[in-house]
Structure 1
Amino acid sequence: MASERSTPSRDRRRAELREFLRSRRARVSPGDVGLPAGGGRRRTPGLRREEVAVLAGVGVSWYTWLEQGRDIRVSAEVVDAIARALLLAPAERAHLYRLVGLTPPQVVAGPSVPAPPQVRRLLDAWSPRPGYIRDRHWYFTDINDAARAVFGYGEKDHNCLVSFFTNVRYRVLHRHWADTAPDVVAGFRADAARYPEDPEFDRIATELAVTSPEFAELWERHDVAEHASAVKAVDHPDVGTLVFDATLLPLPDLPGHHLILHNPHPGTDTGARLDRLMGTRSLVVTHPG
């Protein structure tokens, strides 16, 4: 039966599991986890298998089988216990989940915070192309000048979803607003489902449904969708049609936050029009009189 279950991919995963557990065990000393160092010299660095088993609350034989990569059933609770025993970082814990064939728990989204300096510099350097960062509730945390100029975002625009339905200028500029709206709402509902205990999603949706009949109707459909990219077309009054490829990039250091970057769509003159738009704005800012 074991040979029937064995596949090249499973064998590679078991080999990686063996080496990963051994390497993590070797880097943790007894003193790191509150155990006495013991007398004499250890044959191998780090913790012994039986010490990891005791710390994790599992049998020594069972842990040995796990480290040997045998075909045994592993629960999420046991993975967490071993991760604590080996002092694994969050990324290492997720890696261990995958190696034993389990889906890692969802990372808890942090509070809405401004981007760290290196991400902010990336956003600034992306100009004159539009870019912004939104948190898990779709609030803007950072936005560059190009995004404001192209999409018509003003000082009162704080939430990407709310602005889509309530910012009249954005709606007029967006060539395919009606076609895009269902996907926007479906994306917000999908994100809300990731955080079922978070009441802020319901608050945003409830308040927006009062002010926007279009949103209310789409929200009642209960559609869900996930999109990592899109094409946006804007009919700008100053420079004409601008077409962008929009790419949504998660920020691992800020769980729940995404960086959304817009690049001129190939085969269009969007780049030249964008340069003209932002160059004009720069002159206006430099010489306000």
Structure 2
Amino acid sequence: MSDLGEFLRSRRGRIGPGDVGLSAGVGRRQTPGLRREELAAVAGVSVDYYTRLEQGRDRNPGAAVLDALADALRLDGDEREHLHRLASGRRGAATDAPEEARPGLRQLLETVRPAPAFVLNQGSDILAENPEGLALLPGLASWPRGRRNFVRYMFCHPGAPDIIDDWERMAEDCVAHLRTIPPPLAEALVAELTVLSQHFTKLWAEYDVRVKSGTNRSFRHPSLGVLELRSEVLSVADGQRLVVFQAAPGSPSALAISRLSTS
């Protein structure tokens, strides 16, 4: 099954006939969610054509067809963009060359201190961080640069569930964001985490798609206690992004993060 077909099938299984104004009929349904013929009818395409899309036998649907399917599947903005990206074949390319943090973003790491901050690439590799960022995630400093990846830390560092309050929600957000990037850029990390973490495998199979944006996060630092922070994300054209965790001015957390780099 193609990436496009996998995504369509996952979303078809999440909505029922009642969600799109259809009768569920009588008897037990064998298929979770909508049947192919039901979705095709709501989207205004033939069952044969939709089946070819889902099975990967037709990979060039027009924008109007994609929009009709997105409407029928009740996709949100991130999911709709993901559908169009999969259909367009904008897959990106993997490379063995080490990626360097953009100089401007590296400078901002110093500018925002003492707020913990990281420069990430599309696959959430940590290309650079300030001292407070390194201290915010205990154990990260012991990993070599090539292993430092935010998603890997979430699922492979044994202390992550204790350090990150509401670890489950952040884990879901990390996996959903990983689904938004070109598949070749995530293949190696996905293959690794699928072997190492059953929880990652479960979340990956759910195929949630969500671009990360600013949100409130809580950390339980072993030396400084609970840190109530808000993440902000600045993205640039090549896919790198600056992630900054800020505390409310004058709050106990603001005082605490000023001591992070010396903790």
Task: Determine if the TM-score, normalized by the shorter chain, exceeds 0.5.
Answer: yes
Asked if residue 263 in structure 1 is aligned to residue 246 in structure 2, the reply is yes
Unaligned runs of 5+ in 1: 1-104, 282-289
Aligned to 2:255: 272
Amino acid at match of 2:101: A
CA distance in structure 2 between the partners assigned to 1:210 and 1:108 by the alignment: 24
Percent same amino acid among aligned pairs? 24
Aligned to 2:223: 238
CA distance in structure 2 between the partners assigned to 1:265 and 1:229 by the alignment: 14
Asked if residue 187 in structure 1 is aligned to residue 173 in structure 2, the reply is no
CA distance in structure 2 between the partners assigned to 1:203 and 1:107 by the alignment: 15
Shift, 1:276, TM fit: 2.9
Amino acid at match of 1:256: G
Runs of 4+ in 1 over 3 A off after TM superposition: 105-112, 265-268
Amino acid at match of 1:155: S
CA distance in structure 2 between the partners assigned to 1:164 and 1:129 by the alignment: 20
Aligned to 1:171: 161
Instruction: Please tell me the root mean square deviation across aligned C-alpha atoms, in Å.
Output: 2.5
CA distance in structure 1 between the partners assigned to 2:90 and 2:253 by the alignment: 38
How many corresponding residue pairs? Answer: 169
Shift, 1:106, TM fit: 7.2
TM-score (normalised: structure 2): 0.58
Amino acid at match of 2:242: L
Asked if residue 249 in structure 1 is aligned to residue 239 in structure 2, the reply is no
Aligned to 2:152: 162
CA distance in structure 2 between the partners assigned to 1:118 and 1:186 by the alignment: 27
Distance 1:119 1:277, change over 3 A: closer
Larger Rg: 1
Aligned to 1:218: 203
Asked if residue 129 in structure 1 is aligned to residue 115 in structure 2, the reply is yes
Aligned to 1:206: 191
Distance 1:182 1:108, change over 3 A: closer
CA distance in structure 1 between the partners assigned to 2:251 and 2:202 by the alignment: 35
CA distance in structure 2 between the partners assigned to 1:118 and 1:180 by the alignment: 27
CA distance in structure 1 between the partners assigned to 2:192 and 2:162 by the alignment: 22
Between 1 and 2, higher relative CO (CA 8 Å, sep ≥ 6) is seen in 2
Q: SS of the counterpart of 2:180?
A: helix
Is the 2:106–2:119 contact (alpha carbons within 8 Å) kept by the matching residues of 1?
Answer: no
